[in-house]
């Protein structure tokens, strides 16, 4: 795909926002779908497990997530949700700088390279996309772009939340961080309506503080990971995030099956500190905040 000529007219075209939905306050009785319509080999699923630590995913019993591919210990592109997802949506996915391998190291070659800015990598990128970010790029290729947010940076009813959500054809925010059944219902409904191919993005909030999922047997009001907090508990953080991740694995397994011949990228946007060097949670520069899991498998090249 060649570089298009610069056009001031194109730059001044208004951005047409997609349709957004926000969950109803009461999530009780929402049943996550047991199966999803099978997706084409050129469809793409991007899954971000918000705040999930690498060591938690490595030791957790998560067969569906681990079926995606080899688990890499990658470095996140930023230390909190907004810039991490802005980077991911610009093609800078979490990577391993020490590996000279395409996609695992986005400096070497990217899953998704935007036409325009940035220095070419060493090897061929998986796909080159037009657009101001990869969501817009997939939309311009004729994909249906379906997105779901878990954490507050994805609130489409706030101006800051519109930054990450405005380009999706359909976007849903769960209304709270633990909303995976409602998110999966939204994706299911939109995949049934879509003629495809599809670009599906799912930001999972159950792995974010306070580490809680629907029906969990602990008090959601007690957060064991509070920056500058007095009653933090690293063992409880690890126990809860592990249980939440194993819950997420069970619920997303049918979605991963539906994309069995497609491209799937699964990563965290950043990790959390659990008392290392006296630090808690994220949005701070610390190696544990940047250390994240990355798994992927490639389907047909998007076209
Ligand atoms: Zn995040």
Query: Distance (Å, rounded) from C-alpha 54 to C-alpha 89?
Result: 21
Q: What is the mean pLDDT of residues 143-158?
A: 95
What DSSP character marks residue 152? Answer: G
Q: How far is the CA of 86 from the centre of ligand 1 (A)?
A: 11
Tell me the pLDDT tens digit for each residue of 157-169: 899 999 999 999 9
Q: How far is the CA of 270 from the centre of ligand 1 (A)?
A: 6
Query: Distance (Å, rounded) from C-alpha 191 to C-alpha 73?
Result: 31
Rounded to 10 deg, the angle between the 234-258 and 180-193 helix axes is 10
Question: What's the confidence (pLDDT) of residue 25?
Answer: 79
Q: How far is the CA of 272 from the centre of ligand 1 (A)?
A: 9
Tell me the pLDDT tens digit for each residue of 70-124: 999 999 999 999 999 999 999 999 999 999 999 999 999 999 999 987 788 899 9
CB atoms under 10 Å from CB of 279, counted, come to 17
Tell me the pLDDT tens digit for each residue of 175-184: 999 999 999 9
Tell me the pLDDT tens digit for each residue of 188-230: 999 999 998 999 999 999 999 999 999 999 999 999 999 999 9
Q: Is the pLDDT of residue 7 over 80?
A: no
Query: Distance (Å, rounded) from C-alpha 292 to C-alpha 74?
Result: 5
Question: What's the confidence (pLDDT) of residue 4?
Answer: 54
Query: Distance (Å, rounded) from C-alpha 278 to C-alpha 227?
Result: 9
What is the overall mean pLDDT for the chain? 94
Question: What's the confidence (pLDDT) of residue 26?
Answer: 82
Structure tokens at 171: 């976007």
Q: How far is the CA of 283 from the centre of ligand 1 (A)?
A: 9
Q: How far is the CA of 281 from the centre of ligand 1 (A)?
A: 10
CB atoms under 10 Å from CB of 100, counted, come to 13
Tell me the pLDDT tens digit for each residue of 219-261: 999 999 999 999 999 999 999 999 999 999 999 999 999 999 9
Q: How far is the CA of 217 from the centre of ligand 1 (A)?
A: 24
pTM score of the predicted model: 0.95
Q: Are 106 and 120 in contact (CB under 8 A)?
A: no
Question: What's the confidence (pLDDT) of residue 11?
Answer: 67
Closest residue by Cα to residue 202 from 219, 218, 223, 180: 180
User: 36-94+129-297: which CATH number, 2.60.40.10, 3.40.720.10, 3.90.226.10, 3.40.50.880?
Assistant: 3.40.720.10
CB environment 168-200: b (16+ within 10 A), e (fewer)? bbbbbbbbbbbbbbbbbbbbbebbeebebbbbb
Q: Is the pLDDT of residue 8 over 80?
A: no
pLDDT higher for 7 or 268? 268
Percent helix, strand, coil in the chain (nearest 5)? 30, 20, 55
Q: How far is the CA of 51 from the centre of ligand 1 (A)?
A: 5
Q: Is the pLDDT of residue 1 over 50?
A: no
Q: How far is the CA of 271 from the centre of ligand 1 (A)?
A: 8
Band of pLDDT at residue 21, cut at 50, 70 and 90: confident
């Amino acid at each position: 795909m060649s570089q298009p000529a610069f056009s001031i007219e194109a730059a001044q075209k208004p951005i047409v926002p997609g349709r957004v939905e926000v969950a109803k306050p009461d999530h009780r009785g929402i049943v996550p779908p047991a199966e999803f319509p099978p997706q084409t080999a050129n469809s793409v699923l991007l899954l971000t497990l918000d705040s999930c630590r690498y060591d938690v995913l490595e030791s957790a019993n998560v067969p569906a997530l681990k079926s995606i591919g080899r688990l890499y210990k990658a470095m996140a592109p930023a230390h909190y949700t907004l810039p991490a997802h802005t980077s991911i949506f610009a093609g800078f996915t979490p990577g391993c700088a020490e590996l000279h391998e395409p996609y695992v190291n986005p400096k070497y070659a990217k899953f998704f390279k935007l036409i325009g800015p940035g220095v070419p990598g060493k090897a061929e990128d998986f796909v080159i996309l037009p657009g101001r970010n990869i969501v817009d790029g997939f939309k311009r290729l004729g994909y249906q772009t379906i997105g779901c947010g878990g954490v507050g940076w994805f609130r489409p009813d706030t101006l800051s939340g519109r930054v990450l959500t405005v380009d999706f054809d359909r976007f849903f925010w769960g209304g709270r961080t633990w909303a995976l059944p409602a998110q999966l219902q939204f994706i299911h409904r939109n995949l049934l309506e879509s003629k495809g191919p599809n670009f599906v993005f799912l930001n999972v909030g159950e792995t974010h503080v306070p580490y809680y999922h629907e029906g969990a047997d602990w008090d959601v009001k007690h957060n064991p990971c509070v920056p500058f907090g007095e009653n933090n508990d690293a063992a409880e953080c690890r126990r809860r995030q592990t249980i939440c991740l194993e819950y997420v694995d069970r619920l997303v397994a049918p979605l991963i099956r539906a994309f069995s011949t497609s491209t799937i990228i699964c990563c965290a946007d950043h990790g959390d500190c659990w008392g290392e060097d006296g630090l808690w949670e994220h949005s701070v520069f610390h190696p544990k905040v940047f250390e994240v899991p990355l798994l992927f498998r490639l389907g047909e090249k998007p076209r």
